Structure 1
Amino acid sequence: MFVIIKIIALLVSVWLRVSLGAKCPPSPTIAPCSCAQYINQISCWNIKPDVNLTQIFVNLTKALGKNSKQIIYDEFKLIDSELTDIGSDDDSVEDFFAGVAFNKIQITKNRKLKRIHNNVFKSSFNITTSITISENAILANDAPNERQIFDLLNSFEFATEIWLTDNNISTIPEKAFNRSQNSLAWLSFIDNNIVSVGSHAFYSLPALNYILLDGNRIDKISNKAFELSNNVSNYQLLRLFLRDNDLNSDSFESGTFERIHRKLLLDLSKNNITHLKRDVFTPVFRRNGSAIILRHNPLVCDCNFKWLYDRRLLYNSSHHDRHYYVHNIQCNGTKHDGFKMNELTQSHFQHCPHDPTVHCFMSTETDYDYQC
């Protein structure tokens, strides 16, 4: 409820700041960019390297006439340009967009784009709520520029969603989001070339509900990669998607999920996982409503799965309303090979050694008892 109220307050605040002067100027004023009046959008397609974007927006502000209100458009799009850099390290360029701000920013399919400089969108830092930077083939594909793109994203104080997808980013650095962004709920890094996530990468994002890391090359998860501040409700759901990576049963350090302090939906579909290690995954189930999805993994449901069955974490058709589930189990290397298993039963584990610590982890209405 608190997050919803904050989002509503943000939207009202942005609406109050919108200038009535943010209308489309005469077309030649901003050519080769264009303005769509019906959606209040500035689009710049196929921009060549010799085009001065700053001058375009200087012309725009002159055409509209500056007044006491800031000029704000609903959206800015930069698509299919031939630019290698947006902005400059030149400190004399105080405002790349000449004071014009945008509620949404989309930078897509710029095949030569290597870098977006930190202060390019300075006028939008306290305005923009949605950022999409996608399909830029060589963006931030070296270490200095990789760190810099996250420094830029850190500056959008009121962003609620960031899509940094299908670029050529290889790592999410340590403390990638190192400023508190209290409205940021959605982060997508789908289809990059990410191999690692640094420690405390998302620590300062109390409103975070979604982290999407699907379609990357992650093969190791450090025990502090997903550590989050505990300044939020323990029952606020975090959805962490790690589908279609290179993860296996040994990819997770002990303690990986110990520091999340949140109810968790963890999707590990389409990896190379054969079983879930108890010391790694037990903390996931501390909160009612937590779940792990294991669709399309080469699971071997041998004695390594017994701890999940003993702790009543697997689906049970007799108790279908139970809070704790491990979903979409399909076992390999058993007589059930090739069939989707709705549930495992005691018969699958009758040959396994007895676990004397089972009672230490039996679920209650709140958390597990870790006294043993």
Structure 2
Amino acid sequence: MFVESVVRWGTWSILLHFGLFGVFAGGCPPRCVCQPEAKEVICSGKHFNSVPEGFSSDTRRLDISHNRIKTVGRRQFSGLADLQELDLSDNLISMIEVEAFQGLQNIRKLRIKNNRLKIIPVGVFSGLSSLRFLDLSQNEILVFLDYTFKEMVNLQMLEAGENDLVFISQRAFFGLQNLQELIIDRSNLTSIPTEAFSQLQSLTSLNMHRLTITTLPNNAFKRLPRLRRLVISNWPALDTIATNSLIGLNLTSLVIRNCNLSAVPYSALRHLVYLNFLDLSFNPITVIQGNLLGDLLRLEELHLIGGSLQRIELGAFKGLVNFRMLNVTSNQLTTLEEGVFHSAGNLQVLRLDKNPLACDCRLLWVVRRRLRINFDGHQPTCFSPDAVRLRKFRDFAEKELPKLFTCRPASILDRRPQEARVEEGTTVLFSCKADGDPFPSITWVSSLKNAVSPTGRIRVLPNGTLEVRFAQVQDSGTYQCLASNAAGNDSLTVSLYVKGLPRNRTIPVFLEEGWVEPPNPQAANTSAQMAKPYPFDAKTLIIATTMGFLSFLSSVAICFVFMFFWSQSKGQIKHTATIDFVPRSSMGGGGGDGDGGRFTMKLI
């Protein structure tokens, strides 16, 4: 009785293990772990050299990862019609035969990550019309050929990162009309495969990491009307983004991180009117200029972490009524003025930590909002002045703020009148030195109310001095120096009178090589006339005249001799002769050949 019970219990255990009387009746391959309830077969890390056999026909998930499989044969899984997920990752697969997955009409996920594939023949993915997710990352794939994925009409995500891709054929993605997310990471592409991407009409997210591309050209992502998220990261050579590189896109999120941008690509961004998230972190950007982001009406967040940011100009976020978050941690900012924002009251999250902040009147607005603004757990810290150095914003009491967060208005130090009366061509300098806390900026305005730039013939030197080089009559007028800081402004007016020169005098002109004296046309003509040599000297003229005269005498003598012999001929003949002689010009140079001219004689 006891033996019978033991046998009966053993039989029940075996039946339960293999799926309750045949539910998982196909058996379980040796060394694999089978879970009948979930219909899963786990053969991971079992040192298989080839794909094992003996799977139950109703298996839904099959894991053969971390083995030593090198080849996947044709119709290798044809008996697994119910399979929904297959994992072949972390093997040594270098060859997958055409139609290897034929018969897996219900599969949703396929992972072939971290193998040794170099090329995928067309037809390998035949029969995978139900596949939603494909992971080909960490292989050695060199190229995606035309129509590689043509039957995967329902694929939604393709992970193709960390391959050796050098080329993606124009029709490689043909048939992926439902692909929504594409990831390309650490490849050898040297340009954007624009035509290949244009096949992905349903693409909503494109992630491109660790590439060596230097430029985003115009129309780089054309015909991607549904793309909403574009991530470009770790392109250390990328320093140029063309004006129309992003045109036609309706992005809501744009990430360009860890690249080599030295400035915010304003012209490329202005088309992105639906953008609400912008990340330009870890680029050597030094300034966010004023009034250049106003076209991004829906922008809510800007992240510029770990850059070289030194200044955010007034009006930088003007017009951005939805702006909620600014993250500029780990930069070189000394201040952030309230006038930077369209409405500072809308700001919810502000990251200013790890910046050398100067805690003066310019940051008073932040400190007074320290209980309402979310610093995301990272309190800003004062770097200067010494009285508040290393103090966190939350540590200040309200009553001490007016005494500590102060500024001294800008003041021009030397206010003595400056007036210059000079002749045309003279270089003039006007000094303008100012003091204040924070140190004021110097701006010069011409009599035409135009700001003078740091370059050109009339320019502002780094020390604030106005330089007028080679003054012209039209430069005459008044110039105003404006010294300004957050606490106030000061101004100084100077005068310049330039006297014109007489017409026979010259003034310098500006050429590409610099300022030079122009040549005097009259003097040049006179010199040319004096320097022009006569074509012949006296000796040459005498020789030419003599040779011409001798030629003339020779011709006349010949004529008379001929006439003499003619007159001695027979008969009474009346002779009439007409002689024409055209001597050769003596300017011909010498008559060395004895031909002195042309002789013509007519006898009647």
Indicate whether the TM-score tops 0.5. Answer: yes
> Any conservation in 2 of the 1:223–1:254 contact (CA below 8 Å)?
no
* 1:187 aligned partner: 230
* 2:206 aligned partner: 162
* Corresponding position: 1:351 with 2:385: no
> Any conservation in 2 of the 1:162–1:187 contact (CA below 8 Å)?
yes
The CA distance in 1 between the partners of 2:487 and 2:308, in whole Å, is 26
* 1:77 aligned partner: 135
Deviation of 1:173 after TM superposition, in Å, equals 2.4
- Secondary structure of residue in 2 paired with 1:163: strand
Higher-strand-fraction structure = 2
- Secondary structure of residue in 2 paired with 1:262: coil
From 325, 332, 341, the counterpart of 1:291: 325
Matched letter for residue 405 of structure 2? H
Name the TM-score, length of structure 2 as normaliser: 0.42
* 1:105 aligned partner: 158
From 153, 169, 173, the counterpart of 1:121: 173
* 2:337 aligned partner: 305
> Any conservation in 1 of the 2:282–2:306 contact (CA below 8 Å)?
yes
Deviation of 1:342 after TM superposition, in Å, equals 5.6
Deviation of 1:41 after TM superposition, in Å, equals 1.6
Deviation of 1:189 after TM superposition, in Å, equals 1.0
- Secondary structure of residue in 2 paired with 1:56: coil
Deviation of 1:318 after TM superposition, in Å, equals 4.7
From 276, 281, 288, the counterpart of 1:238: 276
> Any conservation in 2 of the 1:242–1:267 contact (CA below 8 Å)?
yes
> Any conservation in 1 of the 2:289–2:312 contact (CA below 8 Å)?
no
CA-atom RMSD in angstroms: 3.9
- Secondary structure of residue in 2 paired with 1:152: helix
Matched letter for residue 253 of structure 2? Y
> Any conservation in 1 of the 2:289–2:313 contact (CA below 8 Å)?
no
Deviation of 1:133 after TM superposition, in Å, equals 0.6
* Corresponding position: 1:56 with 2:86: no
* Corresponding position: 1:172 with 2:204: no
Deviation of 1:129 after TM superposition, in Å, equals 0.7
1:52/1:30 Cα in 2 relative to 1: closer, same or farther (>3 Å)? farther
* 1:40 aligned partner: 109
1:116/1:289 Cα in 2 relative to 1: closer, same or farther (>3 Å)? same
* 2:144 aligned partner: 86
> Any conservation in 1 of the 2:218–2:243 contact (CA below 8 Å)?
yes
1:263-282 alignment runs, 5 A limit: 263-279=299-315, 281-282=316-317
> Any conservation in 2 of the 1:154–1:179 contact (CA below 8 Å)?
yes
The CA distance in 2 between the partners of 1:151 and 1:339, in whole Å, is 55
1:309/1:157 Cα in 2 relative to 1: closer, same or farther (>3 Å)? closer
> Any conservation in 2 of the 1:115–1:139 contact (CA below 8 Å)?
yes
The CA distance in 2 between the partners of 1:109 and 1:261, in whole Å, is 37
The CA distance in 1 between the partners of 2:389 and 2:308, in whole Å, is 16
> Any conservation in 2 of the 1:218–1:245 contact (CA below 8 Å)?
yes
Deviation of 1:178 after TM superposition, in Å, equals 2.9
> Any conservation in 2 of the 1:240–1:267 contact (CA below 8 Å)?
yes
Larger Rg: 2
- Secondary structure of residue in 2 paired with 1:108: coil
> Any conservation in 2 of the 1:299–1:330 contact (CA below 8 Å)?
no
Deviation of 1:134 after TM superposition, in Å, equals 0.9
Deviation of 1:276 after TM superposition, in Å, equals 0.5
The CA distance in 1 between the partners of 2:148 and 2:341, in whole Å, is 59
* 1:5 aligned partner: none
> Any conservation in 1 of the 2:120–2:148 contact (CA below 8 Å)?
no
1:300/1:52 Cα in 2 relative to 1: closer, same or farther (>3 Å)? closer
Mind listing any 5+ residue stretches in structure 1 that lack a counterpart?
1-22, 65-70, 88-92, 141-145, 358-372
The CA distance in 2 between the partners of 1:166 and 1:337, in whole Å, is 40
Higher relative contact order (CA 8 A, sep 6+): 1
Deviation of 1:269 after TM superposition, in Å, equals 1.4
> Any conservation in 1 of the 2:182–2:206 contact (CA below 8 Å)?
yes
The CA distance in 2 between the partners of 1:52 and 1:319, in whole Å, is 58
1:224/1:45 Cα in 2 relative to 1: closer, same or farther (>3 Å)? same
Give the count of matched residue pairs.
294
Matched letter for residue 295 of structure 1? T
Identical counterparts, % of pairs: 13
